[in-house]
């Protein structure tokens, strides 16, 4: 299975080439495949803020490379003042988006490299290596979660099934071939997938533009539906699993993910459909007791009031939170590279993070 899965790793949202970070511009996919180059922290932070690169793990990886870029630039500018300038750059990266904890987790990892070289010259090679290691570890985590999640699906039913996913938790959102979509890819290879329904995911359309495209490229049977079709689909569509990624999971198992995930979770429970959340341990924030503490990003009203740059209504206020929090009580399974947590609780999350695999 691992070899087959590795063959499925084709789409890459970011590349580190010759000390330059290249990002596949996800705002224009799939109709255009354009690459944008980042050479410093400001360009990287802008690319994260403006959704050139998105998805929790990919944001973290981009930020780590952003630190490596910044260190090179600041050290070239001043062999004595680079540390203070780099600290400002890291703050800029931290301010790019608030909800996905992978961003802060990756910055913390890079800070640890800097701290390990306190009082020494700039550890440029070590920072590059740390960013590459974060990227590679995420790829490995995807492979591991794909297998674990597929086994959970097979445990409940060995027949090909109908699945529903929301937003994009695929190759475009990670260092590998995805979290939720990694599980779906593995399940497809194992003959467990009849059909995948992809919520279009307003307003950025990560579902129709990115998820459906990724799955169609892999030959996975997929169709797009309006977000508001989910209740109807869950009642009529023979769906066995809703499978999503996460931007932050708190110590009690609450899950922040793309806006609309919470309503799917409520609907899934009402219709006796299971909810699986797939996320690497870099998405787990044991510092926050519950989802009530997660900062929820609010984006511009324009994202709702305009379509393809054209106004669709008069100037009005708009409410545009781009994530929501699903309480742990509505989550059936959390799949991480460390193991699987069924019916998450604070105690099970503690065990997962401190003692490793639960099963």
Indicate which single residue of 96, 179, 250, 282 sits in contact with ligand MRU (rule: CB under 6 A). 179
CA distances from 10 to 6, 177, 178, 350 (A): 9, 8, 11, 35
DSSP string, 262-299: HHHHHHHHHTT-EEEEE--GGGEETT-SSGGGSPPPB-
Q: Which CB atom, from 57 or from 291, has the smaller least distance to ligand MRU?
A: 57
Phi/psi-derived region of residue 167, left when phi > 0, alpha when psi is between -120 and 50, beta in every other case? left
Nearest distance, CB of residue 299 and ligand MRU, angstroms: 8
Site residues (CB under 6 A) for ligand MRU, limited to 191-220: 206
Instruction: Decide: 164 and 199 in contact? Cβ < 8 Å.
Output: yes
Of 41, 169, 196, 267, the one binding ligand MRU by CB under 6 A: 169
Among 5, 23, 54, 147, binds ligand MRU (CB under 6 A): 54
Is residue 170 classed as helix, strand or coil in its secondary structure?
strand
Does 135 participate in binding ligand MRU (rule CB under 6 A)?
no
Indicate which single residue of 64, 145, 148, 173 sits in contact with ligand MRU (rule: CB under 6 A).
173
Dist. CA 284–CA 291, nearest whole Å: 11
Q: Does 55 bind ligand MRU (CB under 6 A)?
A: yes
- Angle of helix 101-116 versus helix 82-94 axis, rounded to 10: 170
165 forms part of the interface with ligand MRU (CB under 6 A): no
Token pair for 58: 């990919």
Q: Kindly name the residue from 138, 247, 285, 332 that is annotated as catalytic.
A: 247
Q: Is 84 marked within a binding site?
A: no
User: Residue 317, SS3?
Assistant: coil
Can residue 331 be called a binding residue for ligand MRU (CB under 6 A)? Answer: no
Tell me, yes or no, if 247 is annotated catalytic.
Answer: yes
Residue 258 in the binding site for ligand MRU (CB under 6 A): yes
CB of 188 to ligand MRU, least distance (A): 18
How far are the Cα atoms of 205, 249, 302, 310 from residue 313, in angstroms, in the given order?
19, 36, 10, 9
Nearest distance from C-beta of residue 180 to ligand MRU, angstroms: 7
Interface with ligand MRU, residue 69, by CB under 6 A: no
Q: Which residues are catalytic, by number?
A: 247
Interface positions with ligand MRU (CB under 6 A) = 54-57, 100, 167, 169, 173-174, 179, 206, 244-247, 257-258, 322
């Amino acid at each position: 299975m691992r070899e087959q899965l590795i063959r499925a790793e084709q789409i890459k949202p970011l590349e580190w080439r010759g000390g330059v970070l290249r990002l596949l511009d996800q705002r224009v996919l799939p109709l255009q495949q354009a690459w944008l180059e980042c050479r410093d922290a400001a360009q990287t932070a802008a690319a994260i803020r403006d959704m050139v690169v998105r998805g929790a793990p990919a944001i973290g990886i981009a930020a780590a490379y952003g630190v490596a870029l910044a260190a090179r630039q600041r050290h070239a500018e001043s062999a004595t003042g680079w540390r203070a300038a780099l600290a400002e750059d890291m703050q800029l990266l931290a301010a790019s988006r608030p909800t996905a904890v992978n961003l802060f987790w990756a910055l913390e990892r890079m800070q640890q490299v800097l701290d390990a070289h306190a009082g020494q010259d700039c550890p440029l090679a070590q920072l590059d290596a740390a960013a590459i290691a974060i990227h590679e570890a995420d790829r490995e985590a995807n492979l591991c979660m794909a297998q674990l999640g597929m086994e959970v699906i097979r445990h409940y039913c060995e027949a090909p099934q109908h699945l529903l996913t929301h937003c994009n938790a695929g190759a475009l959102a990670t260092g590998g071939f995805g979290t939720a979509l990694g599980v779906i890819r593995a399940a497809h290879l194992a003959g467990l997938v009849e059909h995948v329904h992809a919520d279009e995911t307003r307003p950025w359309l990560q579902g129709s533009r990115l998820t459906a495209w990724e799955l169609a490229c892999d030959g996975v049977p997929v169709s797009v539906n309006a977000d508001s079709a989910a209740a109807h689909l869950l009642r009529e569509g023979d769906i066995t699993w809703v499978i999503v990624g996460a931007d932050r999971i708190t110590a009690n198992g609450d899950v922040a993910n793309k806006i609309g995930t919470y309503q799917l979770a409520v609907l899934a429970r009402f219709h006796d459909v299971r909810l699986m959340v797939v996320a690497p341990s870099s998405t787990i924030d044991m510092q926050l007791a519950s989802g009530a503490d997660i900062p929820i990003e609010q984006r511009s009203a324009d994202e709702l009031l305009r379509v393809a740059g054209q106004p669709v209504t008069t100037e009005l206020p708009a409410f545009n939170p781009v994530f929501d929090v699903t309480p742990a009580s509505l989550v059936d399974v959390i799949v991480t590279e460390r193991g699987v947590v069924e019916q998450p609780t604070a105690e099970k999350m503690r065990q997962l993070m401190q003692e490793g695999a639960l099963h």
